[in-house]
Amino acid sequence: MALLLDWRFPLEGEGNFVLYDSVTQVVLCTWPIEIERLTDFLNDLQLFDASARSDGVENVIREDFGDLIMTRSIEGDVIRVEPQNYWENIAYWYRSRGEDPHSFDRRQASQG
C-alpha cells in the first residue's frame, strides 16, 4: 500500500489534507487546513501521522474534497503540483498575511 497525501481546495471552506491509498483510492483520513499543518506539509511532514488512519471514509472519493493543489507521498516526495492552484493558495495562506511558508530562516544560515 502506497500512501499519498493531497492538499485540496474546495469551492467553499478553506480546504483539507486527504490521506489515501494510491492503489485502492480509498480515503483513509482527512485533516482540515491549519497554518501550522500547511507549513509542515510544505516542509517535512512531521504532523501527519499515517498510523492514525482509519479503515476508510465511507463513500467518499478524494475529489469530493475539492480541486487538487499538491500531492506528496507520506515519505515526503512531491508527486504532483497544480501550479495555478498552488500559487493562489500560497498567496491566500501566507503572502496576504506577510508570512513565509518555509520555517528555515535563510538570514540566520548565512550568518552562521
CA 40 vs CA 14, 24, 31, 63: distances in Å: 17, 26, 13, 22
pTM assigned to the model = 0.79
How many structural domains does the chain have? Answer: 1
The reply to whether 53 falls in a domain is yes
User: Does 55 have pLDDT greater than 70?
Assistant: no
Range with the largest mean pLDDT of 54-58, 60-64, 86-90? 86-90
Calculate mean pLDDT across residues 83-107: 75
Residue 72 domain flag? yes
Question: For residue 80, is pLDDT > 90?
Answer: yes
Domain that holds residue 94: 3-104
pLDDT at 108: 47
Phi, psi (rounded to 5 degrees) for 111: -85, -20
112 belongs to a structural domain: no
Task: Residue 87: count other Cβ atoms within 10 Å of its Cβ.
Answer: 13
Say if residue 12 is exposed, middle or buried (CB neighbours under 10 Å; 0-12, 13-18, 19+): exposed
